[in-house]
Amino acid sequence: MRAVDHEAPVYLHQLPVPGEDRYVCLALVNTRFTVSHGRVDLLDDAEAAHLWLVRHALLPDRVDLGARQSGRLRALREALRALFEARTAGTRPPADALEGLNTALAAAPATPQLAWTADGPRRADVPDTGNPAAAALSLLAEDAVDLLTGVDVEQLTECAAQGCARWFLRSHGARRWCTTKCGNRVRAARAYARKAGSP
Ligand SMILES: [Zn+2]
């Protein structure tokens, strides 16, 4: 009996996908992906969604997350995916995706503040503590606005491995796979196809 199965999605989530360290919205989009043994959803219930938000320092551990709130998080994820797809395809996104992001932004926006530290002035946004779950969604939506409207969006790419569905920021122009694991999977499939096709 393999006791590691339960841990597998968490382990896979730890694979470094370039850009997730800088944009938590990318990490959110990448909570749904496909590996060789099937589809993985790291937010498939309220408990899993709670764990994900806590791990990404978006929600205090003591705050409960209901089924409706975790549903909103999954809906925001799908809206972001549609917006990423529209941006890279050069098309307009579906109206409900744009509306979904703007609703999340408006639900519990952080209050911008100017902090003054030993290093001088810096911006320090204060999250809405009265509504922590909505504040987490607002932060994720704001992060997506930063990504979509900044220079990094030129590097935004969907992994070319079939069914992978993860998004990453290309470190160089030619990169097409989110991780070496995906690259290896594609190369192995190609080698297999060549072998199968040869007489
Ligand atoms: Zn991939």
Dist. CA 57 → ligand 1 center (Å): 25
Dist. CA 132 → ligand 1 center (Å): 32
Nearest C-alpha neighbor of 145 from the set 106, 101, 108, 113 = 101
Dist. CA 123 → ligand 1 center (Å): 35
Dist. CA 175 → ligand 1 center (Å): 11
Dist. CA 102 → ligand 1 center (Å): 28
Dist. CA 126 → ligand 1 center (Å): 35
Which residues make Cβ contacts (< 8 Å) with residue 188, sequence separation at least 6?
none
Q: Strands, DSSP E only, in 50-183? A: 114-117, 120-123, 156-158, 167-169
Neighbours of 135 (CB within 10 A): 21
Dist. CA 194 → ligand 1 center (Å): 22
Domains of the chain (ranges; CATH) run: 5-197 (1.10.3300.10)
CB 157 within 8 A of CB 183: no
The tens place of each residue's pLDDT in the chain, 199 residues long, gives 434 444 455 455 456 789 999 999 999 999 998 877 788 899 999 999 999 999 999 999 999 999 999 999 999 999 999 999 999 999 999 999 999 999 999 999 889 999 999 999 999 888 888 999 999 999 999 999 999 999 999 999 999 888 788 999 998 777 888 988 888 887 888 888 888 776 5
Dist. CA 82 → ligand 1 center (Å): 17
